[in-house]
Amino acid sequence: MGSTPNQVLGRFLLTTLSRLLSALGLVVLLVTATPLVPWYGRLLAGREYNSNGEILIVLGGSQLEKDIIGEDSYWRAVYALRAYREGGIREIVLSGAGVSESMADFLTFQGVPQNLMKLETHSRTTRENALEVYRLLAEDRRTKILLTSDYHMFRALRAFRRAGLTVRTLPIPDAEKRASRWSYRWWVFLDESVETVKILYYFFRGWL
């Protein structure tokens, strides 16, 4: 006696559910118990780290509310300060609508001269960062360094190159540091997953 349509459907649903749970279990294992998350962050950061240059371009990230920078923006500002204190930086370009002003306030408080900073206050995406900074620096022949989070560098570097600006890279260990704590790994995994989707979107739009 053959199976009824309801029995066939039931077996199909159970098999599908079983496979989904197995896949979810594998993802949980990979994220929590393997170095996948920090490894992927390092992969997106690239291998070229170079802080030798005269113009430091710092990309703004999240903003909690007006005048309060988010965690990634804070750490980018901190590493920008460190690069400045190493010497050699003649100008700092802070890029991002809203957040660039708050990052400038932080750097000023830490002793960076205001006349050394230039603010780009119109961009709201990585592509706009690249286009607006290009307009500011296209005729400037000094060596330029791009600073952003490690997992963001892959897309940012290629967007800047596509815009016509040659830059060296200084990715900060954002995902790598956060992923060293088990409780943060899922947040980093989500950030990297969203970034991967954005990379694919930029690729298909021809922006990389």
Domain ranges of the chain: 5-34, 42-205
Nearest to residue 103, comparing CAs of 57, 143, 144?
57
Residue 176's pLDDT band (boundaries 50, 70, 90)?
A: confident
Question: What was the pLDDT predicted at 18?
Answer: 53
Q: Which helix (H) or strand (E) holds 144?
A: strand 144-149
Residue 27's pLDDT band (boundaries 50, 70, 90)?
A: low
* Mean pLDDT value across residues 190-197: 93
* Mean pLDDT value across residues 75-100: 95
Residue 79's pLDDT band (boundaries 50, 70, 90)?
A: very high
Question: What was the pLDDT predicted at 199?
Answer: 96
Question: What was the pLDDT predicted at 17?
Answer: 55
The overall average pLDDT reported for the chain is 86
Q: What are the tens digits of pLDDT across the range 50-73?
A: 778 999 999 999 888 777 888 899
Q: What architecture does CATH give domain 42-205?
A: 3-Layer(aba) Sandwich (3.40)
Tell me the DSSP string of 57-89: EEE---EEETTEE-HHHHHHHHHHHHHHHHS--
198 to each of 40, 73, 85, 204, 206, how far by Cα in Å?
15, 19, 33, 10, 12
Reply yes or no on whether the pLDDT at 21 is more than 80: no
Strand arrangement of the beta sheet that strand 117-120 belongs to: 117-120, 91-95, 55-59, 144-149, 168-172
Whole-prediction pTM value? Answer: 0.85
Question: What was the pLDDT predicted at 5?
Answer: 67
Question: What was the pLDDT predicted at 161?
Answer: 95
* Mean pLDDT value across residues 160-182: 91
Reply yes or no on whether the pLDDT at 9 is more than 60: no
On whether the CB atoms of residues 158 and 208 are closer than 8 A, the answer is yes
Reply yes or no on whether the pLDDT at 96 is more than 70: yes
